[in-house]
Amino acid sequence: MLDFPLWLAALGGALLASTVTTITSIGAGMIMYGVLSLFLDLKVVIPLVAPAQLLAVGLRCWLFRRHLHWRLAALFFIGVVPGIYAGTMLFDVLAETALRRMIGVSLLAFAAYECWRGNEGRTMPHAGLLPLGGVVAGVLLGSIGIAGPLLAVIFLRYGLLKEDLVAMVALFFLLGNTQRTVLYWHQGFFVGDRLALAVAMGLAMLVGVYAGRLVLPHISRAFFRPLVLGMLVLFGFQFLIW
């Protein structure tokens, strides 16, 4: 039986994660992992968050559907599906400590890259490189469950900003987490309280989508860049130290 503090933290974290992600396009995974890993093993947390995100990313896709770039998405997702399969197999063999260290290093690396890149002009890579980016993003999502920062880096390079970026990242997580949920379901992971907690977090995330959509027009996105970088660093060190 999962205790009350866990449920309270999970629902509060889900609401916050979904609100922040609707505004900045990233953050849900690292916030949820940071909160839930205080109570549960990451080997439980990573599969648990996958179905919880489905309702929110599905709604986000629908609300921002006019901003989807289907040609870029098609090229990108050629690599995502095999990448997730490979990442899921990697997840099965990794120890919990190794997962923590990999997440921590990945978060700090993305933060360092963004700080180094600063506000320099973007150069659009060749579209033929998108399937390779999809493979890498799929492996990250399937193994450590965090691919948002990489997606932001990739799609920003193709000139996607604000609603366009939110829509494309949401589409990735909708398709990617559907695949992961099916794989974890076949492994018998979602039983009893785990399934109930995943559904409850998903409902809380729905509220967060609407909250973020209401806040987005009234807040400067420049404020959120240091906020997101700060979260990357904070949770990065948390996973490296704890």
pLDDT score of 82: 92
By mean pLDDT, which of 25-34, 56-65, 79-88, 109-118 is the weakest?
Answer: 109-118
Whether 136 contacts 86, CB under 8 Å: no
What pLDDT band is residue 105 in, cutting at 50, 70 and 90? confident
Total domains in the chain come to: 1
Q: Is 38 in a helix, a strand, or coil?
A: coil
Q: How far lies 105's CA from each of 68, 94, 111, 160, in Å?
A: 31, 15, 10, 26
Measure the CA angle with vertex 235, ends 229 and 241; round to 5°: 135
Structural domain including 101 reads 4-241
Q: Give the pLDDT band of residue 234 (cuts 50, 70, 90).
A: confident
- Render pLDDT for 46-72 as a digit per residue (tens, 0 to 9): 899 999 999 888 988 998 899 998 988
- Cα 212 to chain centroid distance, Å, stands at 16
- pTM (2 decimals)? 0.80
